[in-house]
Amino acid sequence: MMIWVNGGLRAADAAQVSVLDHGLTVGDGIFETVKTVRGRPFALTRHLDRLTRSARGLGLPDPDHDAVRAACAAVLDANPVDMGRLRITYTGGLSPLGSDRGDAGPTLVVAVGETHRRPDTTAVITVPWTRNERGAVTGLKTTSYAENVVALARAREQDASEALFANTVGDLCEGTGSNVFVVLDGQLHTPPVSSGCLAGITRALTVEWAGAQETRLPFDVLDRADEIFLTSSLRDVQAVHRVDGRTLPGAPGPVTVKAMRVFEERAAGDLDP
Ligand SMILES: Cc1ncc(COP(=O)(O)O)c(C=O)c1O
């Protein structure tokens, strides 16, 4: 596997950053996960725009989109995969040991791994830990994902593939790496970005293409929603067939099936919507 590190491709075992990189020492970094289809990235412009928003939120220099695109293209050329998880990581770079960032400039890493189409339905759990809708990095896609690591491990223990969080006021927020939609009386709803969730790209496309409303929803809506689905770059639209002990027997239900279909059709027709 060839990985892009700070200006060039390296073999995986030679692709290195400093142990003093601020991304490693304090999680001062941002990232994007992009789906690739037969060597081409999906929705790369939206991902690069969000990378810039995240960089500005952390006070990192704006990433050079042309340079990141060139790095992505080089990595995809060097690592042919049918369906890929393209990971762009951009950190505070070489820094002192504390929370002050150094002035060496940011680190850019781009790597790709092979992945496979997700199952059409999955199980999720709820977790007691909250998303903070009022934090300094709320809504930024930072590399500080340890809370997600812990919650996802809890989900795996319960044969689920995702853990869902409420925010500090008890509203439904998002999963460790996905957004959530529910169907109530035939209407599709998803929490607003003010809930503290990431402004997911798949979420935005699903709102646009399937016509969902952004609605504040109490966490226990998961006990009564007629249908539930997740969205993310690698899941696209994925139905939920179990939440904790509750099964949703017909999953994917009719509204979800329609959203899955419209997403697949529109995405196939435009690689950079
Ligand atoms: C916390 C979180 N929420 C939501 C998402 C879904 O976002 P997207 O559709 O842009 O992949 C992700 C994606 O990786 C995420 O990490």
Question: Residues lining ligand 1, CB < 6 A?
Answer: 33, 174, 177-179, 197-198, 200-203, 231-233
* Residue located nearest, by CA, to atom 7 of ligand 1: 200
Determine the average pLDDT of the residues in 227-238: 98
Are the beta carbons of 161 and 153 closer than 8 angstroms?
Answer: no
Q: How far is the CA of 96 from the centre of ligand 1 (A)?
A: 30
- How far does residue 220's CA lie from ligand 1's centre (Å)? 22
Residues 230-241 have a mean pLDDT of: 98
Tokens of 68: 């990141």
CB 264 within 8 A of CB 207: no
What pLDDT was estimated at residue 160? 98
Residue 177 pLDDT grade (very low, low, confident, very high; cuts 50, 70, 90): very high
Nearest CA to ligand 1 atom 14: 177
Q: Tell me the mean pLDDT in the region 63-67.
A: 98
CA pair distance 10, 152, nearest whole angstrom:
31
For ligand 1, the distance from its centroid to the CA atom of residue 126, given in whole angstroms, is: 17
Mean pLDDT of 151-173: 98
Instruction: Identify the three-state secondary structure at position 98.
Output: coil
DSSP-H helix ranges across the chain: 22-26, 44-58, 65-78, 146-157, 201-210, 254-269
Residue 23's pLDDT is what?
A: 98
The mean pLDDT value for 143-147 works out to 97
Q: What is the CA(230)–ligand 1 centre distance, in A?
A: 10
Q: Whose CA is nearest to atom 1 of ligand 1?
A: 177
Ligand 1 atom with the smallest distance to the CA of 47 is 10
pLDDT band at 122 (very low <50, low <70, confident <90, very high): very high
Q: Considering the entire predicted model, what is its pTM?
A: 0.98
Q: Which of 87, 65, 80, 103 is nearest to 15 (CA)?
A: 87
204 Cα nearest atom in ligand 1: 9
* Amino acid, single-letter form, for residue 153: A
Structure tokens at 102: 């150094």
* Ligand 1 geometric centre to CA of 29 (Å): 16
Testing ligand 1's pocket by substitution, the residue of 198, 205, 229 carrying the most ligand atoms inside 8 A of its CB is 198
Angstrom distance (rounded) from CA 120 to CA 117? 9
Q: Whose CA is nearest to atom 13 of ligand 1?
A: 177
| Ligand 1 atom with minimal separation from the 43 CA | 10
- Closest-CA residue to 22 (of 80, 79, 101): 101
* Rounded Cα distance, 45 and 51, in Å: 10
Do 112 and 70 meet the contact criterion of CB atoms below 8 Å apart?
A: no
Mean pLDDT of 171-187: 98
What pLDDT shows up at residue 179?
99
Q: Which of 54, 44, 208 has its CA nearest to residue 139?
A: 54
pLDDT band of residue 142 (cuts 50, 70, 90) is very high
% of the chain with per-residue pLDDT over 90: 100
CA of 190 to the centre of ligand 1 (A): 14
> What number does the ligand 1 atom closest to the CA of 202 have?
9
Reported in sequence order, the residue ranges of 133-245 that DSSP labels E, i.e. its strands, are 162-167, 172-175, 179-184, 187-190, 213-214, 227-232, 236-243
pLDDT score recorded for residue 148: 98
16-54 tens-digit pLDDT = 999 999 999 999 999 999 999 999 999 999 999 999 999
The CA-CA-CA angle for residues 48, 84, 67, to 5°, reads: 35
Structural contact between residues 230 and 178, judged by C-beta atoms closer than 8 angstroms = yes
- CA separation (Å) from 251 to 166, 183, 256? 23, 12, 8
- Which atom of ligand 1 has the smallest separation from the CA of 203? 9
